[in-house]
Every structure is written in structure tokens, then in C-alpha cells.
Structure 1
């Protein structure tokens, strides 16, 4: 019996590699925020996510959720009730990627004083040069 071929690792540097689209979904502004917001593993309604993620439009949140769902990171559950009730949660794969994204987001938040200082230094250097 033939063995199934092993899945190949992605190559982000290859122009046509589908891993680039996954990277875009995960690292987009809204993708990062959705993954971090869902990191608890609890089911969340669309309206809850929209309230928590300041500045995201309904359209962008819907597109972000669809992209993450397509990549297997988010599970969407539609409940057969009136009015419609849809909720979202991370899959096992989604919890893994959310952990990595959360580390980056946490580092950025913790490093903001140093980043702001570097920005101010850079601004002072460019205004005198």
C-alpha cells in the first residue's frame, strides 16, 4: 500500500507559496487583534468582538474572521434561532498561532516606552538633518 505523501513545509520567500496568504491573515492589524481577543478559548459573538476591538468596521471584522476561518484558525458556529446567533472561537491550530501572536503583541505593548523614545530620537534627527 502506498504511503500518503508528507505535507510540505511552506516557504514564505517563494512568491507563489500559499503561506504568504496565511501570514497576511495572521499578521494583519485586525487578524492579530481577533486572535488575541479569542485567545481565552471561549466562544464570542461578533458584536462582542467588534466592541472589544476598537476601530474595526463590521466589514473588516467579517473579512478577517472569514480569512482566519478559511485557514482553520477560527470556528464559526451559527445557532438556529431567531434572531440569528453566530459565535466564534479558536480551533486547536488557532490557539497555537494566537499564543505566538500574543507574545509579539505583549512585547510591543511592554516596549512602547522604548519605541516612543526611539521614535522621538529619530524625529529629532530627521528634523535637524
Structure 2
């Protein structure tokens, strides 16, 4: 799990299953971008599911919905773990779009910030394009 800001963490499926580490990091909400059954979380953790695929097959409105939901959680001072399977593509693209929107920057600037903390961050180009459209 990579702390991008004090309230935004990006991770993979294993991070999302490590409830103890999540709670130690102060996570109060999980934005799950994967498919399948989620792990069990305590009542203190809000689970939001917005499954996406890693590539160009996503409906842009689904990407926008995931970014909108993440932005709403962060605006409400929740500490969020946004995760996908590997923690390097879907979660990174959605987190970058939310950061860009909240900070009034562009997606490239937000991606640079993410990569400074999470060097394996490499979102699919189609997801980056969707993120740009969400922020514009």
C-alpha cells in the first residue's frame, strides 16, 4: 500500500485483504476497482465497488463514476485505499484523476506525484486518456 497523501492510498488486491495494515494506516473507506467477491471489512470501513478493466474496454462513464466517488470520499475527509489487482494501472489512473481534480492540476502532474511514491505505477494509456477526460 502506497500513501500518496495522508488520506489517499493506492494498493493491490493483497493490500485490500490486509485489514490490519489498512486500519493501522487509518483507512476508513475502500474503493475497489476489481471484479469478484470482496473481502470482509469491519463496519468502520466503507466499501465502494466500481469495477473497471485494465484497458480500453471501459465505458468512460464508469471511469468518471469511480473518480467522482473517490473525490467525494476524499472531500468528506475519509482515508481511502483505492485498489485494483496489481495496484499499478486502474487504481493509479483513478487516483491521478481525483488528485488532479482536487488540486486543480492536470493528470500528468498527478501521475508524477503518484510515481514519486509508487515507482511501479504504470496505468494503461486508455485509462490515462479517460482520466484526462474526467478532469477536463
**Higher helix proportion:** 1
Higher relative contact order (CA 8 A, sep 6+): 2
TM-score, shorter chain, exceeding 0.5: no
Larger radius of gyration: 1
TM-score by length of 2: 0.27
